[in-house]
Chains A and B, each alone.
Chain A
Amino acid sequence: MAAPLLEVRNLRVEFPTRRGILTALDDVSFSIEPGEILGVVGESGAGKSMTGAAIIGLLEPPGRIARGEILLNGRRIDALPYAELRRIRGREIGAIFQDPLTTLNPLYSVGQQLVETMTTHLPITPDEARRRAIGWLEQVGIPAAAQRIDAYPHEFSGGMRQRVVIALALCAEPKLIVADEPTTALDVSIQAQVIALLKTLARDKGTAMMLITHDMGVIAETADRVAVMYAGRIAEIGPVRQVVLHARHPYSQGLMGSIPPLDRRVERLAQIDGSMPRLTAIPPGCAYNPRCPKVFGRCLGDRPDLMDAGPTQAACWLYDNV
């Protein structure tokens, strides 16, 4: 096995509030290898975006990393000074967010933004950067790239803008891309194009990717491994086939079971009753215990860590000592 490109160890993120400290992420550990796509799924509020934000050093204040470490290529990046972090972000880690407008600056043409990113991070001249910018726009499927390079973000449609964002995230040739719901704001037919694009680019360039989405279909098609998050922790992590088709953790099973199938009609969808607890009211023991159909005595008092559950790892007492 290759050495991990990204390693997250026992990450804990806290938000100090007037009413005490909120723990948004607790004991999150995983790694991503070069060229690998890790999918991150879970209900809204599970901590997916928070994990991504911690990695790219964009936690919203007063959020802070309270414990654990984040290593990129074996080097700690969780406690770097701001300027150093900025250099890494862009050069070594690219970010793609749900809304392309948050990434693009409306006052600059897309060409200016691409050139600026490349000249900041790569040892190349502005002319060379412009030449490459056209190449990147072509690669992400912008027709007539040479003519459109001087257009401004608002002159592109939503799908085209998200392509520009992808070009921007890739142009400094980072080793890792953190993509938070990159297709959620797009139409179904455009989603498919963008996913196909991300996948080929990642494969061709050997870029590793953390792909956060609530769309399990996108994960099934794109990811190598999947992490399922619940209430600020990883409930299960493993190879995509195993997690999507043969989940071990009762929460992953419930989540996958509730997806409406496209190929048949079912009288009643499997549903998980209740809802995910708020951060202020996480139950003791296993956080999933109030909704879990397999709950037993031990779940109420002890909190399970990730343990081997066959081909995946699951944070569930059902797999203790098996």
Chain B
Amino acid sequence: MSDARFIEALDIARYFDVSRPLVQRLIAREGRRTLKAVDGVSFTIPKGTTLSLVGESGCGKSTIARMMVGLYRPTRGEVVFDGRDLAEARGQAAQRRRMQMIFQDPYASLNPRWRVRDIVAEPIRAFHIARGDEVMERVGEALTQVGLSPLDGQKFPHEFSGGQRQRISIARALSSSPEFLVCDEPTSALDVSVQAQILNLMKELQQRLGLTYLFISHNLAVVRQVSDRIGVMYLGRIVENAPSEVLFGAPRHPYTRALMEAIPDLEMTGRIRVPVGGEVPSPIDPPSGCPFHPRCPLANDRCRAVRPEMLAAGATLVACHAVEEGREAQR
């Protein structure tokens, strides 16, 4: 077992069939349509570290999150969890309990009719981790870990604020003592002040419990605070993957640069921003070659025809012809 390769995604892809019903297809004489939500993504997360995925809406972040905990089966490729194929690991309760997921919406993800203690106890019961009084002891511990009181267990979710509800989701995820947590936009529905509470809590828990995180967000500033490594996604692929400080210090991919450029400047230095033009294309009908080429200031004929492969550039992995050709500095 290798801690350096605790979690691995090996060229995973997930396609969805988004064809219209058969009759309509016949009338319109169109074939089946496939949406490549994720199209060949690889990464490794060493034990006890955080890999973040950032990117705009629809680029495939949640689809990856779901594949990493087995909620979706990859159309292609393999997820490896602590040396085992995930599909195989999911077959055993003892392995399944080692991974949990936290969702974006703390309102939708908690059953409103259950008391908090039963919500938090659910994984404990499902995995037969404890029985009798010991269940509530563990629930109390989990609630305490996230800064709530064991007495809160008697209440219902609607009695809590958004931030407290996200704490409850985290307590539920922690109650089966998992080692790997997939957090899909855990703070996006929260106010900044509450987001700070939750991010601090997640870091603290990671240090205390040695957790490994796959953290998903569209907010680069948030990602900078929590990640060891960052993968920047565009249209179903990772276009740049680098250690956090390297990515922010020297972003290489034109899309990464555009994303950073797009963030308003809080310090009001008067920096003039040049927003990237155009829109995110549809993943049903992605552009040829490099999918970023219609919006890229560095695009040339090769970019329009040939899809760039991931190449190493120092500690960074980047998929861009301009970087490979040394044309990126022109900007």
Contact = CB atoms under 8 A, between A and B. Distances in A.
Interface string B202-242: 01000000000000001111101100000000000000000
A59 interface: no
B313 to A, nearest CB: 22
Interface stretch (A4-12, A20-28, A75-83, A185-193): A185-193
Most A Cβ at <10 Å: residue of B222, B261, B266: B266
A215 B193 contact: no
A297 B202 CA distance: 35
B161 interface: yes
B268 A190 contact: no
Interface string B254-282: 00001111111111100001011101100
Contact of A189 (B196, B219, B244, B258): B258
Give the interface centre of B193, B220, B266, B268 by most chain A CB atoms within 10 Å: B193
B268 A215 contact: no
Interface of B is mostly: helix
Contacts of B199: 260, 269
A61 interface: no
Interface size class of chain A, counting residues whose CB lies under 8 Å from the partner chain = 35 or more
Interface residues of B, number: 43
A241 B225 CA distance: 24
B134 interface: no
Contacts of B57: 187
A203 interface: no
A195 B258 CA distance: 16
A266 B193 CA distance: 15
Contacts of B258: 189
Interface stretch (A63-71, A146-154, A217-225): A217-225
Given A157-B279, A271-B200, A221 B192 contact: no
Given A187-B57, A262-B263, A192 B273 contact: yes
B280 A187 contact: yes
A262 B224 contact: yes
A269 B266 contact: no
A188 B225 contact: no
Given A192-B273, A216-B192, A258-B193, A244 B266 contact: yes
Interface in A208-253: 214-218, 220-222, 240-241, 244-245
7 contacts: A157-B279, A187-B56, A240-B268, A244-B266, A261-B266, A272-B193, A275-B161
Given A259-B192, A262-B263, 18 more contacts: A159-B279, A188-B263, A192-B275, A193-B275, A217-B264, A221-B264, A245-B268, A259-B266, A260-B219, A260-B224, A261-B224, A262-B220, A262-B224, A262-B248, A265-B245, A271-B200, A272-B196, A272-B197
Interface of A: 43-44, 157, 159-160, 187-193, 195-196, 214-218, 220-222, 240-241, 244-245, 254-255, 258-273, 275-276
Q: Which 7 A/B pairs are nearest by Cβ-Cβ distance?
A: A217-B264, A192-B275, A258-B196, A271-B196, A269-B196, A187-B56, A221-B264
